[in-house]
Structure 1
Amino acid sequence: MVVTCTTKSSEDYDRASELKAFDESKAGVKGLVDAGVSKVPRMFIQPPDDSRNCNNQFKFPVIDLHGMDSDPIRRKKIVEMVREASETWGFFTVVNHGIPVSVLEEMLDGARRFYEQDNEVKKEFYTRDLTRKVAYNSNFDLYVSKAANWRDTFYCLMAPHPLNPQELPATCRDILMGYKEQTMRLGLKLLELMSEAVGLNSNHLKDMDCAEGLAILCHYYPACPQPELTMGTTKHSDDDFLTILLQDQIGGLQVLHQDQWVDVPPVPGALVINVGDLLQVNFSVL
């Protein structure tokens, strides 16, 4: 591995060279860990940020979707909970969403298999070509961000144009195709609930083609030797209409609520829903 922790002064530090060496290794952050780094390379060190402090006085919303298709009264309650959570949080956790736990566990395992396979195999997918439907790299904004995130990402564009399964990595090909079908079904149900929550016909967002596209991103956060110096994902907002988040049981996800960072507690078998900036604006103005 050609990336090491620099000890040069600020005047001598060549960030561009460090970024280039890291990128050209095509090994990602996982490659650094495998190489045995004991210190976080300077390119990953985040500036001090007081907003990392977490406030746990708020209770993150959890919505049970059981009965939403069979009980009209229950569905009305669910729609109201979706409306409130979308307007005030922009996030919520769903349980009894219809996707088997075995599928969720296999999706997590499939992602791990991809990252933990031989690096020479992974390199075949490493690219910064944004036109590729299947891509693996570390930090899409590597060359423009102030500090890199301690994270690698595998990306595949599954819809609206069908993806040839043979383009996917063999280590997670089957589960990616199966997970796609499951999340598309859930996504349609969530868009129905959100349409109803803003007083529209249940098919309104679907008819706007909000359910046409689907991208699956698999983030990987290797163990960090100095976690106090860097972050896996820095603060950001998403402008997508709807994001379904599957997180492992280690946790670590936080959302900004009333200018306070709040932990999103991992719930076994649950999924976290991010309604995205575009939808949240619609909830806020109604």
Structure 2
Amino acid sequence: MASSATSVLLHPSSALSKDNDRHGRVIFDPSLLQNEANIPKAFLWPTSERPDCLEELEAPVVDLKGFLQGDESSTGRAAEIIREACLTHGFFQVINHGIDPSLFREAMTNADQLFHLPLETKLKIERQPGTFWGYTGAHADRLSSMLPWKETLSFGYDDVGSKNGVVNYFVSSLGKDFESIGWVYERYFGAMKELSLKILELLAVSLGVDREYFREYFKDGESVSRCNSYPPCQVPEIVLGTGPHNDPNGLTLLLQDQVGGLEVLADHKWRAVKPQPDALVINVGDTFMYVINVFE
């Protein structure tokens, strides 16, 4: 479908003051975009980059209950499943991971509330260059073409840093009314980081090295936590929420909603990862692959 650019959609909102317009830098405002008939050219992706996904990825679902309870036979089975997944595409899902599903629901609900805030409020926590913290819309602050149709809120969570850093960030940036949201994400990100260290133990077992091998290597590393929102699009077939990419980090733990949309390139084909209730999608990233190659 043909689409033309329209300048009104990618300029600073007229609702923002002169001090908040970031000196003319483009700003993604989905509330305006959704009312337009045409998609701006900056959001269009070449046909060759648009996955036509029909098949489902056989990403195994690993039950972590026995492993977390210290059962050696269950640990061995889980490690073998993970080993097979990593030898093929590097993706698997985990259930019975020890994180309360109610915390998942709180995190999702609060993310919806944050992304539905007025644009001028979200820009109070706009991510600054060189940092992991804050809001971005379509990465329009650093890209000019093939923009992703999404909003993102990121946190540089690090449990060896300042105590209650996420809570303090929300209160200092948005005010006391956002303290409860800060506590939800403080607990959520802390639980996800601890689980990531547990999964690193399983990866070590799957590779036949000491169980603490990778945990010790990564435990003091910085974790980046990210919430993504994909607003409705009137012509979804010509845009991408997130473009094709490799995860550069060591390990990604992804909580999907039940809408789905995650696709993985495996055997030269894009394949969908079907959401599982209360499961987490795990992806082994480039940094972990590098570490394995260095220490072999």
TM-score by length of structure 2 reads 0.82
Distance of aligned partners of 1:92 and 1:45 in 2 relative to their CA distance in 1, 3 Å threshold: same
The answer (yes or no) to whether the contact 1:134–1:157 under 8 Å persists in 2 is: yes
Deviations, residues 16-74 of structure 1 (Å, cap 9, x unaligned): x986658857763434346x223211110111126612242652221111211332111
Q: Where do 1:28-177 residues align within 5 Å?
A: 28-33=28-33, 36-49=35-48, 52-56=51-55, 58-68=57-67, 69-131=69-131, 133-140=132-139, 143-144=142-143, 146-159=145-158, 160-162=160-162, 163=165, 165-168=167-170, 170=178, 172-177=181-186
Alignment partner of 2:246 out of 231, 234, 237: 237
Equivalent pairs: percent with the same residue?
Answer: 29
Moved more, 44-53 or 79-88: 44-53
Matching residue's letter, 2:51: R
Distance of aligned partners of 1:141 and 1:82 in 2 relative to their CA distance in 1, 3 Å threshold: farther
User: Any stretches of 5+ residues in structure 2 without a counterpart?
Assistant: 14-21
The answer (yes or no) to whether the contact 1:29–1:152 under 8 Å persists in 2 is: no
- SS of equivalent to 1:155: strand
- What's the counterpart of residue 11 of structure 1? none
Deviations, residues 156-180 of structure 1 (Å, cap 9, x unaligned): 1111423252212517212111102
- SS of equivalent to 1:49: helix
- SS of equivalent to 2:225: strand
The answer (yes or no) to whether the contact 2:198–2:215 under 8 Å persists in 1 is: no
Matching residue's letter, 2:36: V
Moved more, 271-280 or 77-86: 271-280
Measure, in 2, the Cα distance between the counterparts of 1:166 and 1:273.
29
Matching residue's letter, 1:75: T
Measure, in 2, the Cα distance between the counterparts of 1:21 and 1:265.
37
Deviation of 1:278 (Å): 3.0
User: Any stretches of 5+ residues in structure 1 without a counterpart?
Assistant: 8-13
Distance of aligned partners of 1:183 and 1:127 in 2 relative to their CA distance in 1, 3 Å threshold: closer
Matching residue's letter, 2:41: R
Deviation of 1:245 (Å): 0.4
The answer (yes or no) to whether the contact 1:29–1:150 under 8 Å persists in 2 is: no
CA RMSD of aligned residues (A): 2.8
Distance of aligned partners of 1:112 and 1:240 in 2 relative to their CA distance in 1, 3 Å threshold: same
Do structure 1's residue 254 and structure 2's residue 263 form an aligned pair?
A: yes
- SS of equivalent to 1:208: helix
- What's the counterpart of residue 205 of structure 1? 214
The answer (yes or no) to whether the contact 1:18–1:43 under 8 Å persists in 2 is: no
- What's the counterpart of residue 285 of structure 2? 276
Measure, in 1, the Cα distance between the counterparts of 2:25 and 2:119.
10
TM-score by length of structure 1 reads 0.85
4+ residue runs of structure 1 moved beyond 6 angstroms? 282-286
- SS of equivalent to 2:189: helix
Deviation of 1:114 (Å): 0.5
- SS of equivalent to 1:67: helix
- Equivalenced residue count is 273
